[in-house]
């Protein structure tokens, strides 16, 4: 089936679906200038040594790691990036009533910035826009803490309990927020269409969600620049740029609604 016919089918499936769940990854933010992790220019692809910085054990044990992570946070593109066509298209899908829940592995907040209702977004790997204390769970906006780092504090401690602080993002070896995992699982169990966009679908437990959707009888549609382990089980694989593909799907939805 050629790409246009495939996009037309996907648009029809979305129009007819009872409950659509989107599962997004770093590939929806690359067009906003935020590198992904495992793509050709990905962070782990180009700087594999950096992956260690994002393990919880290394962060807890090594002050040098914490200081390097805080320095990296100062220049993280998520603080200056804006939403791109992929974020805007998913927000439009929601506006038209075709998106029940958006589970994102991204920490950049760009789905909300692009207009998706924050109540429908599950930031399952956390957010870079907040800081949490690893001892007393105090949670604050990231801005003032980054200001302390800029003013020379290399490893700002919690003002309440003196504990270590970290951006509220999930590090390797850190467990996910059970309530977020439950929300993502429940939405997936109830969906009849899962739209996986811009994710390599290799990091667990999120990488189990498409399997959960398939086992619940849902169709799986994958929009991704490269192969994923689920391509052979997907109802459709749309290989290309997330923003372009999602806009093409919206255009077909328009023609369906005009027909």
Residues serving a catalytic function are: 125
Given the rule CB under 6 A, which of 2-10, 146-154, 193-201, 230-238 is the region that contacts ligand APR? 193-201
Give the β-pairing of 165-169 and 236-239: unpaired
Indicate whether 235 belongs to the interface with ligand APR (CB under 6 A): no
- Alpha-carbon span 245 to 242, nearest angstrom: 5
In the bound state with ligand APR, the residue whose beta carbon lies nearer, of 92 and 241, is 241
Indicate whether 199 belongs to the interface with ligand APR (CB under 6 A): yes
In the complex, minimum distance from the CB of residue 223 to ligand APR, in angstroms, rounded to a whole number:
6
Indicate whether 32 belongs to the interface with ligand APR (CB under 6 A): no
- Alpha-carbon span 42 to 135, nearest angstrom: 32
In the complex, minimum distance from the CB of residue 153 to ligand APR, in angstroms, rounded to a whole number:
26
Beta strands in 16-141 (DSSP E): 20-24, 101-104, 121-123, 126-133, 139-141
Indicate whether 27 belongs to the interface with ligand APR (CB under 6 A): yes
In the complex, minimum distance from the CB of residue 238 to ligand APR, in angstroms, rounded to a whole number:
9
Indicate whether 31 belongs to the interface with ligand APR (CB under 6 A): yes
Other C-beta atoms lying within 10 Å of the C-beta of residue 41 = 9
Q: How many CA atoms lie within 13 A of 38 on its CB side?
A: 12
Given the rule CB under 6 A, which of 31-39, 154-162, 179-187, 251-259 is the region that contacts ligand APR? 31-39
In the complex, minimum distance from the CB of residue 98 to ligand APR, in angstroms, rounded to a whole number:
20
As a whole number of Å, the end-to-end CA separation of the chain is: 22
The widest CA-to-CA distance across the chain, in whole angstroms, is 63
Binding residue for ligand APR (CB under 6 A) from 66, 87, 120, 125?
A: 125
HEC secondary structure over 153-219? CCCCECCCCCCEEEEEECCECCCCCHHHHHHHHHHHHCCCEEEEECCCCCCCCHHHHHHHHHHCCCE
In the bound state with ligand APR, the residue whose beta carbon lies nearer, of 87 and 158, is 87
CA distance to 92, 166, 219, per residue, from 240 (Å) = 19, 35, 20
In the complex, minimum distance from the CB of residue 147 to ligand APR, in angstroms, rounded to a whole number:
26
Q: Which residues inside 163-182 make contact with ligand APR, applying CB under 6 A?
A: none
**Phi (first) and psi of residue 191, to 5 degrees:** -90, 155
Indicate whether 111 belongs to the interface with ligand APR (CB under 6 A): no
With a CB cutoff of 8 Å and minimum separation 6, the contacts of 92 are: 115, 250
In the complex, minimum distance from the CB of residue 62 to ligand APR, in angstroms, rounded to a whole number:
19
Given the rule CB under 6 A, which of 21-29, 88-96, 115-123, 174-182 is the region that contacts ligand APR? 21-29
Given the rule CB under 6 A, which of 13-21, 27-35, 127-135, 247-255 is the region that contacts ligand APR? 27-35
Applying CB under 6 A, the residues found at the interface with ligand APR are 25-27, 30-31, 36-39, 42, 105, 125, 198-200, 203, 224-226, 241-242
């Amino acid at each position: 089936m050629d790409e246009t016919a495939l996009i037309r089918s996907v648009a029809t499936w979305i129009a007819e679906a009872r409950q659509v769940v989107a599962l997004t990854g770093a590939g929806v933010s690359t067009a906003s200038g935020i590198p992904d992790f495992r793509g050709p220019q990905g962070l782990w692809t180009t700087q594999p040594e950096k992956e260690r910085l994002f393990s919880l054990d290394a962060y807890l044990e090594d002050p040098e790691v914490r200081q390097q992570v805080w320095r990296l946070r100062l220049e993280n593109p998520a603080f200056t990036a804006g939403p791109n066509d992929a974020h805007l298209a998913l927000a439009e899908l929601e506006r038209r009533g075709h998106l029940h829940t958006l589970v994102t592995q991204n920490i950049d907040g760009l789905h909300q910035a692009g207009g998706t209702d924050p109540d429908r977004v599950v930031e399952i790997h956390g957010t870079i826009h907040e800081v949490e204390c690893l001892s007393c769970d105090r949670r604050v906006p990231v801005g003032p803490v980054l200001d302390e780092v800029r003013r020379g504090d290399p490893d700002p401690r919690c003002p309440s309990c003196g504990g270590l602080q970290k951006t509220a993002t999930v590090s390797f070896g850190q467990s996910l927020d059970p309530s977020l995992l439950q929300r993502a699982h429940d939405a997936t169990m109830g969906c009849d269409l899962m739209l996986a966009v811009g994710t390599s679908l290799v990091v667990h437990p999120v990488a189990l969600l498409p399997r959960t959707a398939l086992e619940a009888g849902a169709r799986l549609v994958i929009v991704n620049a490269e192969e994923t382990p689920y391509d052979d089980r997907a109802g459709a694989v749309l290989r290309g740029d997330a923003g372009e593909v999602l806009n093409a799907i919206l255009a077909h939805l328009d023609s369906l609604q005009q027909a």
